[in-house]
Amino acid sequence: MSTEQDAREAQLVERVLASFDGTPDPRLRELMRALAGHLHAFVRETRLTEAEWQAAIEFLTATGHITDRRRQEFVLLSDVLGVSMQTITVNNEAYADATEATVFGPFFVEGSPLIPPGGDIANGAPGEPCWVSGAVHDTGGNPVPGARIEVWEADDEGFYDVQYSDERVAARGHLVAGADGDYRFWAITPTPYPIPHDGPVGRLLAATGRSPMRASHLHFMVRAPGFRTLVTHIFVAGDELLTSDSVFGVRDSLVKRFEPQAAGTTTPDGREVAGPWSRVRFDIVLAPDQ
C-alpha cells in the first residue's frame, strides 16, 4: 500500500471518530468511537471487498428476517461468535467461590410454572428422568432462603418447548429455595442437541466447518435480593462435546456427574420410575450484588 493510500484511509477514520465527539452521553460516545474504530481497522486489515461487505449486509438482513418472538437469530449469532460468552465473562468477575456464569441462550421464557419441592419440570417432555438437588448459599457459606431458581432444558428430541408450534410448556419451571437454601426437583437427563441451524447462522457454521452441536446441559437462573443474578448451566461429565460446544459455554467448574441409576432403584422421594434414571447434585454459590 502506498503512503498516500494509507493516509487517505487514516484520514477517513479520524473524520468518522470525530463525528461522535459531540455525543452527549459519555458512555455512548465511548462505545461508538470504539465500535467505528474497530470496524474500520477490520476493513483495512482484511482489505475487505465491496462484494464481501454486500454479502455481510445480506447476511445480517436475513438474520433479522428470520428473527421473531420464538427465535432470536441475533442471539445465536452472538453465541457462535463467542461474544455472548465474552460479555458474560467481562460482567461476572470471579468472586471468591461464587458459581461461574455462562450463556443465557435464546430459549428462556418469563412466566414459567411454579414447581413445588420435589416437583417435575418435564410436564410430558420426552427423556430419562433425572433427580436434581442442591442448596443455594452465599460466599460465606450461609443459606439463601427464598432464592428463585429458574430451570429449563431441551427435551430428548433436542428441542425446547418454544420450538414447537402447539404452545406447550414443558421442561421448564421455577422453584423457591427452602429455609436452608435447599432445592430439589425432577427434570430429564440432558442430551446433546444442535442449535437451530436452518438459517443464516447455520449457513455460517457450515461454511466455516463448525458443528452446531451443544454439549448436554441444564439451564439455571438464580435470583435473590442483594445478590448478583446468576445465569448458568450444568454440563454432563463424559460428554464428548464438552470441548467443542458451539457457543463456548462450558466451564470446567460446571461439569457435573449425572449418576446413572438402574431401573428399579429407589428414588429419593419414593416416586416410581419405569426404567433407568439419573441423579445430580448442584450446590449454587451466589456473589453479592456490588
Residue 84 has pLDDT above 80, yes or no: yes
Q: Pick left, alpha or beta for residue 167 (phi over 0 → left; psi -120 to 50 → alpha; otherwise beta).
A: left
Residue 266 has pLDDT above 80, yes or no: yes
Mean pLDDT for the stretch of residues 71-75: 90
Residue 13: pLDDT band (50, 70, 90) is very high
Residue 69 has pLDDT above 90, yes or no: no
| Pick from 245, 197, 185: nearest CA to 217 | 245
Q: Pick left, alpha or beta for residue 93 (phi over 0 → left; psi -120 to 50 → alpha; otherwise beta).
A: beta
Residue 70 has pLDDT above 90, yes or no: no
Cell of 208: 466455516
Residue 254: pLDDT band (50, 70, 90) is very high
The confidence score (pLDDT) of residue 71 equals 83
Q: What's the gap between Cα 144 and its chain centre?
A: 24
Q: What percent of the chain has pLDDT over 70?
A: 100
Per DSSP, what are the bridge partners of residue 183?
A: 134
The confidence score (pLDDT) of residue 182 equals 98
Give the start-to-end residue ranges of the domains of the chain: 3-76, 85-286
Between CA 116 and CA 169, with CA 154 as vertex, the angle to 5 degrees is: 50
Between CA 179 and CA 180, with CA 261 as vertex, the angle to 5 degrees is: 5
Higher pLDDT, 71 or 21: 21
Mean pLDDT for the stretch of residues 260-286: 96
Residue 260 has pLDDT above 80, yes or no: yes
Residue 125 and residue 161: Cα distance in Å, rounded?
8
Across the chain, the runs of DSSP E, i.e. the strands, are 129-138, 148-152, 172-176, 182-188, 193-194, 213-214, 217-223, 230-236, 255-256, 259-261, 277-281, 284-286
Most confident of 46-50, 90-94, 109-113: 46-50
Between CA 131 and CA 93, with CA 141 as vertex, the angle to 5 degrees is: 90
Average pLDDT, the chain: 96
Q: What percent of the chain has pLDDT over 90?
A: 94
CATH superfamily ID and name for 85-286:
Aromatic compound dioxygenase (2.60.130.10)
Mean pLDDT for the stretch of residues 244-254: 97
Cell of 112: 414459567
Residue 152 has pLDDT above 80, yes or no: yes
Mean pLDDT for the stretch of residues 129-157: 98
3-state DSSP helix/strand/coil % of the chain, to nearest 5: 30, 20, 50
The alpha-carbon radius of gyration of the chain (Å, integer) is 23
Residue 42 and residue 86: Cα distance in Å, rounded?
19
Mean pLDDT for the stretch of residues 14-27: 98
